[in-house]
Copies of this chain bind each other. A is one copy, B any other.
């Protein structure tokens, strides 16, 4: 059983030719993992995926090595790459590191962000709230991520954005699955509102506290859908 895609032979529809092939393969693979087309625990068949993407195994293997360093796949000697599957503890660990990073970022942001920077986050937030009201979950999800990345970016620390982005990417698949009930969703939106307010008030302690709570909620949202 390979189960690489729900569509066994879905025409090589999504061929690749834009920009750098490496980057293109990379994002396609990431998407396939995040969206669940590549199920955790399954081996990546280079021949098959290569054919599906319309590239030879060489650049595909290079992209896989990159993903391995990102932690999305695991390299098993003589058996190629396996889509990494995360235990509940591993997910919790990631969330706790993200919490730490975002709290640090938030404090910095309160110090150095310009009003304009904060305004841009507020705009994203307003847009996200609109998606919440209209029930547009996918766009909500994207904007949610953008806000968190945005706050981290306000800290103006490349290494911070790097590691935060890496952990976010690892979690994307988990978050992508989880669909919270209406109460938790409402709570999440309310917390976001508080976050933005604390940021606008440039109150690092308040921002830190609310970010902490928010990530605890994120954990509660996904924890039940995970293996021990």
Contacts and interface: CB of A to CB of B under 8 A. Distances in A.
Contact of A20 (B70, B77, B170): B77
A16 interface: no
Contacts of A100: 100-101, 104
Interface residues of A, number: 32
A159 interface: yes
Q: Copy number in this complex?
A: 2
A155 to B, nearest CB: 9
Interface stretch (A57-65, A110-118, A215-223): A57-65
Interface in A20-74: 20, 22, 58, 61-63, 65-71
Most central of A58, A62, A97, A104 by chain B CB within 10 Å: A97
Interface stretch (A138-146, A160-168, A196-204): A160-168
A17 interface: no
Contacts of A157: 93, 96-97
A97 B90 contact: no
Contact of A70 (B69, B94, B159): B69
A159 B100 CA distance: 12
Given A20-B77, A66-B68, 10 more contacts: A62-B62, A63-B65, A65-B66, A66-B66, A66-B69, A69-B70, A93-B157, A93-B160, A96-B159, A97-B157
